[in-house]
Chain A
Amino acid sequence: MATDTQLDLWEVFIQSRNGSHHTHAGSVHASDRKMALQNARDIYTRRGEGSSIWVVPANSIVASNPDDADMFFDPADDKVYRHPTFYVMPEGAKQI
């Protein structure tokens, strides 16, 4: 078989409607950014699922390591005072 290429891998993020977050939808293969956008549109928004698309070269994404998750997220584990339920409110106080 001749050397073949299936082009580069891109990750696709879709905003389902104006005002919402862009959410990861999946991946596409493409050789450049324009093709990546068009492929993402054809593959992930055939039924009006999106109002905006981001495509990112997969190798540009930096991800945390799941094996280190306990250690990595540890700084947040002992700070219950960051949650509103931590505080004792005087009896009778309203709208707080």
Chain B
Amino acid sequence: MSNNTAPAIEDARLSKFEERVQKGDAIEPRDWMPEAYRKHLIRQISQHAHSEVIGMQPEGNWITRAPSIRAKQILLAKIQDEGGHGLYLYSAAETLGISREDMIEQLQTGKAKYSNIFNYPTLTWADIGAIGWLVDGAAIVNQVSLQRTSYGPYSRAMVRICKEESFHQRQGYEIMATMMKGTAEQREMAQDAMNRWWWPSLMMFGPHDSDSPHSSDAFRWKIKRHSNDELRTKFIDKTVQQAEVIGLTIPDPELKWNEATGHYDHGEINWDEFYRVIKGNGQCNKQRIAHHKRAHDDGAWVREAAEAYKVKQAVKNN
């Protein structure tokens, strides 16, 4: 093959790929795709998977202290779901050619990120309500949009996850509603959780569209279907009413309905805090990764034993 034909073939494949994406075709694992598309997806899906897995920690913190057996069963089921979501997503990322081992290593060495929100601590039981209602609520808005992402395995994982997330959000809202019907102290606790989780939840959608570094390819290739600001607005619009119904105040004095746009306007987000936490200086960054490493290392003997058993069975069956 001459030096000139290779780029020509590459160009033809790229334009065919882009044509398919524009038409709304799903891209499947064995289809040709540009390296940048593959890389973008691996980064995004693995980060999404890590978020689900690390997200088990702040909630796990309350299993032994859940206020009733009902609350404990629900919390356990929810955390198990989060683990399952992480596994759907790791599987989707693996179809792009990265191994589970590599993804875990990237998480533990800090090369891969996870959602910033899980670097905040869960100080009271109301925080479990706030996580389900606000954090999962924000995640649902994002994930509903991603159900139509162009990569087939990612899109299918999102459909499955969205079905399960609405239980998460409702259980969180129920906790908040119950506390708001309780004593003055319980109401105060719920409002305090609201105050601490509201802004970090808005940050989950990422920087403003004008400052978002990864967006243009992601839109052209239909990995992303809605912008950070569109999704953030959608979340605020539906959450404000839910807060009002149970008597919680949104900790943003500048929040107000805008007749002209048909959406809420919100106050300035503290992006300095956002970048400080991303860079590893949130309250729990070190603790989250240390815990992940410990659990991973403590489980090594189980994986080794399983492998040894497999070998032994293979010998026996031959």
Contact = CB atoms under 8 A, between A and B. Distances in A.
Given A6-B101, A43-B87, A31 B94 contact: no
B270 interface: no
Contacts of B157: 26
Contacts of B310: 31-32
Contacts, number: 58
B9 to A, nearest CB: 12
Contact of A5 (B87, B94, B303): B303
Interface string A1-12: 110111101000
A32 B300 contact: no
A90 B88 CA distance: 54
Interface stretch (B28-36, B193-201, B231-239, B276-284): B28-36
Chain B's interface: helix, strand, loop or mixed, by majority? Answer: helix
Interface string B103-124: 0110000000000000000000
Given A26-B91, A26-B157, A66 B307 contact: no
Interface string A26-47: 1111111001000000110011
Interface string B44-66: 00000000000000000000000
Contact of B303 (A6, A26, A32, A65): A6
A89 interface: no
Given A4-B300, A4-B303, A66 B91 contact: no
A51 to B, nearest CB: 18
Nearest to A6: B100
Interface string A60-87: 0001011100000000000000000000
A33 B313 CA distance: 11
A66 B80 CA distance: 36
A31 B309 contact: yes
Contacts of A63: 30
A4 to B, nearest CB: 6
A27 B91 contact: yes
Interface string B276-312: 0000000000000000000000001001101101100
B178 to A, nearest CB: 24
A7 B30 contact: no
Nearest to B103: A6
Given A6-B99, A6-B100, A63-B30, A31 B307 contact: yes
A46 B160 CA distance: 12
A66 B30 contact: yes
B109 to A, nearest CB: 9
B206 interface: no
Interface string B16-33: 000000000000101110
8 A-B pairs closest in CB distance: A31-B306, A6-B100, A27-B91, A31-B310, A32-B310, A66-B31, A43-B84, A66-B30
29 contacts: A1-B105, A4-B101, A4-B104, A4-B300, A4-B303, A5-B101, A5-B303, A6-B99, A6-B303, A7-B303, A7-B306, A26-B88, A26-B157, A27-B91, A28-B87, A28-B91, A30-B306, A31-B303, A31-B306, A31-B307, A31-B309, A32-B309, A32-B313, A42-B84, A43-B84, A43-B87, A46-B77, A47-B164, A65-B30
Given A5-B307, A6-B101, A32-B310, 12 more contacts: A5-B303, A6-B104, A7-B307, A26-B88, A26-B91, A26-B160, A29-B100, A30-B306, A31-B310, A35-B306, A42-B84, A46-B77
